[in-house]
Each structure stands twice: as structure tokens, then as C-alpha cells.
């Protein structure tokens, strides 16, 4: 698939600092506000946000068939519901307007000053209204680590794991945008030396490094989406931290799965990197054996080479990188996830969020959670300030970063960050 906006030769007249996540080849969409603007849609370019309401109302996006007011809304749902053909056309037009070879916006000084807003002057908001949220369990390395830790290491994976993308329905209302603080959750835990559970704040608060996709189309109840059709339903991706209270979860999850150990909060990055922008970074996924059932079979490269990193910043001291991994390690790809999710006739909606599950790689430094990095507290991590962490402490900020890079072009997600406050 050839997409004009992905051309690695493109250069913008907007200054893009070296190493920026937001070159002209990215152009992710988000919702922002300022002192003077309510919630409106924008696109990231370098250290600026491009106001799409201004562009639309002043004729820069004419001819694309966009409804009036499409960008002057609290969420991007109605825009992404226009379909990938239209959203791709918008991204291509924005790419043209920002290109150093195109004069329309570049030489219109008044328009430039009004349409381009420095990032430090904006507040990013939740980009979509999320009706439904599903969390998968798609990393073989993560599932094996957890299975080895709590079950038999020789049979770490449950019998179904290599046959279907395991997942569960999570809580959509507690998904928050990067920069939102969360209080340490409380619940029942059962200490190893006690016969009865106690009610208290979690003692094993953890992060989970994940990638999530957002859907742009609906299907009718009773119909299913094939692996071939799946990408027509996916608008783009965000970074995702599915915070986890491990001790609450361990006590409650049998027989029905995670509940209070998960639903107190999940954090997403504010910029949606489009499926189109990630096109150049496709790679072949892990070999799947035994062979999957026909409805999960697919052709082509459906995984993405996206570098991922987690840092912990304590209340006092600098941030420490504790994990580096890559989305290409995921065993189950997004096409298979969506096909499996709907094979029973489940209907999906515009703006639904589907998370990958914790992404872990093959080496200890690539494990995507403290549960694995510290092996359930047995091997505490040392931070740059000399402190150690078995699990997260109050005042800790977890920062997730991600980017894909090829041919000198870096397409990034910005950051997905959240700070832990004491329990209420």
C-alpha cells in the first residue's frame, strides 16, 4: 500500500527537532484545549499542534467531503467513523499543507500563527469516547513468565493459549489520558500467612506495558470480521498502561478473572498514531504452532516493529529505564484479535479500545511488568537514586514511550504517563 504522506523524502516547513516523535511522516490525531480554545481536534507536528478546526473553517480542507463542525467536537469518534479512505485523505492533505514544497499555509503568515500552537500551551484530552474495552493476553513470553511463576513451569501456558487470543472485557469508564494521577487502589488481599483476607491498599501495585488499537467502524450484531477485513476497522494505535494490583487480582480472579485488581484505572497516550502511518514498519510475526484454525489464518506481515520503553520516576530523583521491548514479539496480531473477538457475532463500535496485554520480550530486561522484572518481588530493581522497587510506591510516576524507526524516519507515540498517589 503506497501512502503519499509516508514518503521518507518529505520535509516540513515546520521545524521538527532531531529525534522528535512527530515528523511530517507521522501526523497523529488527538483532542486538545488551550486557555482560549475548548476541546478541538489537532495533529502533532514537531513541537506544535495543528488546529484542525481552523484549517477546516478557513478552506484548507475543502474538497474532502468533511461535514461541518467535524473537528469542533469533544472526541474524534465522528471523524474516525468517516472511514479510513476519508481519514487517509485528510492526513494526505495535512501532509501537503505542511510540506516545505507547498506554499498555501507556509506563506500565509496569519494562518500559520493561528493554526500552529506550541505544545507547551495545550492540554491533551482523552482522544475518543470509549464505549467498550477489551484486554488481550497476546505475549507468549509474558504468559509463560506468569504461568511459570504461579503454576508449573513445565506447563506454563494453559491448553487454549496457542489456539486462540485469550482476552477479557475490561472497564472503559476508568481509562484516563496520560498525565492523570491515580490513587492507590484498595481491596481484599490474602496474605500468605493468614487464613482470612484483609481489606487494605494494594501492596503490589504494578504497570503493564501494552499497545492498544481503536476501531473506526461498526459491524452488525451476529456478523463477524475476518482477518482480511480487520484492518478496515482499525483507525490507529495508542500506548496503554493497564495498571494492575497484583495481590487484589490474585485473590479475586478465580474463577471469573480480573475485576477490582484492574478496573481502578488504565492510562492511554493522547495521540492516535494511524494505521497508515505505521504501514512502513510492518514485520512478520512469530511463527504460530500448532497451526491456527482457518478463521484465524492470515497472509502477509501483520505485526509492527515498534520499540517500547518503560521508565519509573520516583518522587525524589531522576527517571530510570526498567524495560525495553518491542511490539513485534506479540504472538497474536491485531487482525487475529479482532477476528476472534467477533467470530461469535459480537458487534463492535466506533471508538472501542482493544489492548494487547502486557508486551514482554525474550530477555529479562524486556519484560513488560514489575511482576516479571522483579519476579514477584524476589529480585528488586534498583533505581538511579539508589532506591529499590519490588512494586510501585506512592509518588512513583510510570512513563511509557514508543516509536518505530526505519530509513531515518521516526514515528512515535509521545508518552503515556501517570503518577501514583496515596490511597484515599
Q: How confident is the model at residue 280 (pLDDT cuts 50, 70, 90)?
A: very high
CA distance 344 to 268: 28
At 145, give phi and psi (nearest 5°): -60, -50
User: ∠ CA 106-111-115 to the nearest 5 degrees?
Assistant: 95
CA distance 185 to 200: 9
Average pLDDT for 117-129 = 98
Q: How confident is the model at residue 1 (pLDDT cuts 50, 70, 90)?
A: low
Can you tell me whether residue 109 is helix, strand or coil?
Answer: helix
Extended strands (E) in 259-316: 266-268, 273-274, 282-283, 303-304, 307-313
pLDDT in tens, 41-81: 999 999 999 999 999 999 999 999 999 999 999 999 999 99
What Cα–Cα distance (Å) separates residue 359 from each residue in 96, 136, 171, 239?
35, 11, 20, 11
pLDDT in tens, 202-246: 999 999 999 999 999 999 999 999 999 999 999 999 999 999 999
Q: What is the DSSP letter of 208?
A: -
What is the Rg, in whole angstroms, of the alpha carbon atoms belonging to the chain? 22
pTM: 0.98
* CB contact set of 148 (below 8 Å; sequence gap of 6+): 156
Instruction: Tell me the catalytic residues.
Output: 142
**Are the C-beta atoms of 120 and 46 separated by less than 8 Å?**
no
Mind listing the domains of the chain with CATH numbers? 4-125 (2.30.30.230), 133-421 (3.90.850.10)
Half-sphere exposure of 190 (CA within 13 A, CB side): 9
**Are the C-beta atoms of 279 and 345 separated by less than 8 Å?**
no
Can you tell me whether residue 94 is helix, strand or coil?
Answer: helix
At 239, give phi and psi (nearest 5°): -75, 150
Half-sphere exposure of 352 (CA within 13 A, CB side): 22
Q: How far is CA 301 from the centre of its chain?
A: 20
CA distance 342 to 344: 5
Extended strands (E) in 10-160: 29-33, 40-45, 48-51, 116-118, 123-125, 133-136
Res 195: pLDDT = 93
What Cα–Cα distance (Å) separates residue 363 from each residue in 141, 160, 165?
9, 24, 23
Q: Please, is 337 exposed, middle or buried when counting C-beta atoms within 10 Å of its C-beta (0-12, 13-18, 19+)?
A: buried
Res 2: pLDDT = 61
**Are the C-beta atoms of 396 and 312 separated by less than 8 Å?**
yes
213: its cell numbers: 488499537
Amino acid at each position: 500500500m503506497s501512502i503519499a504522506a509516508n514518503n521518507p523524502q518529505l520535509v516540513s516547513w515546520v521545524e521538527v527537532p532531531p529525534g522528535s516523535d512527530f515528523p511530517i511522516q507521522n501526523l497523529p490525531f488527538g483532542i486538545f484545549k488551550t486557555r482560549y480554545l475548548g476541546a478541538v481536534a489537532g495533529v502533532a507536528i514537531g513541537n506544535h499542534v495543528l488546529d484542525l478546526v481552523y484549517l477546516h473553517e478557513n478552506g484548507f480542507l475543502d474538497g474532502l467531503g468533511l461535514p461541518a463542525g467535524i473537528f469542533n467536537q469533544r472526541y474524534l469518534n465522528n471523524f474516525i467513523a468517516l472511514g479510513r479512505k476519508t481519514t487517509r485523505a485528510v492526513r494526505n492533505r495535512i501532509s501537503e499543507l505542511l510540506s516545505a514544497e507547498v506554499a498555501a499555509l507556509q506563506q500565509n503568515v496569519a494562518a500559520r500563527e493561528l493554526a500552529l500552537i506550541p505544545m507547551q500551551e495545550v492540554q491533551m484530552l482523552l482522544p475518543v469516547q470509549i464505549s467498550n474495552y477489551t484486554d488481550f493476553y497476546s505475549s507468549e513470553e509474558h504468559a509463560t513468565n506468569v504461568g511459570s511463576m504461579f503454576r508449573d513451569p513445565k506447563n506454563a501456558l494453559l491448553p487454549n493459549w496457542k489456539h486462540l487470543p485469550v482476552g477479557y472485557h475490561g472497564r472503559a469508564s476508568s481509562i484516563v489520558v496520560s498525565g492523570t494521577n491515580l490513587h492507590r487502589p484498595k481491596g481484599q488481599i490474602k496474605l500468605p500467612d493468614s487464613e482470612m483476607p484483609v481489606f487494605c491498599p494494594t501492596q503490589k501495585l504494578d504497570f503493564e506495558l501494552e499497545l492498544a488499537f481503536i476501531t473506526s467502524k461498526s459491524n452488525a450484531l451476529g456478523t463477524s470480521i475476518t482477518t482480511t477485513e480487520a484492518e478496515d476497522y482499525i483507525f490507529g494505535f495508542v500506548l496503554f498502561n493497564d495498571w494492575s494490583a497484583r495481590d487484589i487480582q490474585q485473590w479475586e480472579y478465580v474463577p471469573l478473572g480480573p475485576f477490582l485488581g484492574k478496573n481502578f484505572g488504565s492510562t492511554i497516550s493522547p495521540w492516535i498514531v494511524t494505521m497508515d502511518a505505521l504501514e512502513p514498519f510492518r514485520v512478520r510475526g512469530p511463527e504460530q504452532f500448532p497451526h491456527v484454525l482457518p478463521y484465524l489464518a492470515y497472509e502477509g506481515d501483520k505485526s509492527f516493529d515498534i520499540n517500547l520503553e518503560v521508565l519509573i520516576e520516583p518522587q525524589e530523583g531522576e527517571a530510570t529505564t526498567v524495560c525495553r521491548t518491542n511490539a513485534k514479539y506479540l504472538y497474536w496480531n491485531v487482525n487475529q484479535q479482532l477476528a476472534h473477538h467477533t467470530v461469535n457475532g459480537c458487534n463492535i463500535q466506533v471508538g472501542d479500545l482493544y489492548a494487547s496485554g502486557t508486551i514482554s520480550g525474550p530477555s529479562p530486561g524486556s519484560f513488560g511488568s514489575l511482576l516479571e522484572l522483579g519476579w514477584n518481588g524476589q529480585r528488586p530493581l534498583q533505581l538511579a537514586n539508589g532506591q529499590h522497587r519490588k512494586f510501585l510506591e506512592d509518588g512513583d510516576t510510570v512513563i511509557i514511550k514508543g516509536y518505530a524507526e526505519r530509513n531515518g524516519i521516526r514515528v512515535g507515540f509521545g508518552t503515556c504517563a501517570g503518577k501514583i498517589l496515596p490511597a484515599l
